[in-house]
């Protein structure tokens, strides 16, 4: 029998990191997102994961940059209000699935640290995992680019994804 798990948003975070001018890293996050997992057992192996994030909830701690990210130069929030991920396989360490940003769906691989299962003080059973991966933003039509006078690329093509997720057993 399969077990359903729902995301605990107060104990979860979704972040991305992008090199800026190749000398520093900008971190961004989504404040509105949801995820579910369906498991066969407590190992979470072969679990099925589904995830979505609202583009409008993007934050890089800079309003102008956030507005730019929501524009058609990047996510085009008006036409594509969310990004989604659906897993195809999970062996306990590697998760393969389809990431959809804008109108592009590509298979990606995430490295996963499954941190196990614990019961909280309120009697709820929770599971935690951290997933990381790297994508090329241009694969998803996030093509905006600029170069500084010194010839440095303003925004790297490589984007690091970090998801710290806690699930509640339903």
Q: Give 92-131 pLDDT, tens digit per residue.
A: 999 999 999 999 999 999 999 999 999 999 999 999 999 9
Cα 84 to Cα 18, 80, 117, 129: the distances in Å are 19, 10, 25, 18
**Spatial contact of 47 and 74, defined as CB atoms under 8 Å apart:** no
Rounded mean pLDDT, 136-155: 85
User: How far does CA 141 lie from the centroid of its chain?
Assistant: 17
Whether the pLDDT of residue 151 is over 80: the answer is no
**Spatial contact of 155 and 145, defined as CB atoms under 8 Å apart:** yes
Structure tokens at 143: 């093509």
Whether the pLDDT of residue 133 is over 80: the answer is yes
Fold of 3-169: Lipocalin (2.40.128)
Which of the four pLDDT bands, split at 50, 70 and 90, describes residue 132? very high
């Amino acid at each position: 029998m399969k077990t359903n798990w729902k995301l605990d948003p107060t104990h979860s975070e979704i972040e991305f990191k992008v090199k800026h001018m190749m000398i520093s890293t900008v971190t961004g996050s989504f404040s509105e997102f949801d995820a579910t997992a369906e498991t066969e057992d407590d190992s979470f192996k072969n679990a099925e994961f589904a995830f979505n994030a609202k583009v409008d909830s993007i934050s890089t701690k800079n309003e102008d940059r956030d507005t730019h990210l929501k524009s058609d130069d990047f996510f085009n929030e008006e036409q594509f209000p969310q990004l989604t991920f659906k897993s195809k396989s999970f062996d306990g360490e590697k998760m393969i699935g389809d990431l959809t940003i804008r109108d592009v769906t590509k298979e990606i691989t995430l490295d996963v640290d499954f941190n196990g299962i614990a019961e909280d003080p309120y009697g709820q059973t929770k599971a935690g995992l951290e997933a990381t991966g790297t994508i090329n933003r241009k694969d998803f039509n996030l093509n905006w680019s600029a170069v500084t006078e010194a010839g440095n690329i303003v925004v790297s093509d490589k984007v690091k994804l970090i998801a710290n997720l806690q699930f509640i057993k339903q």
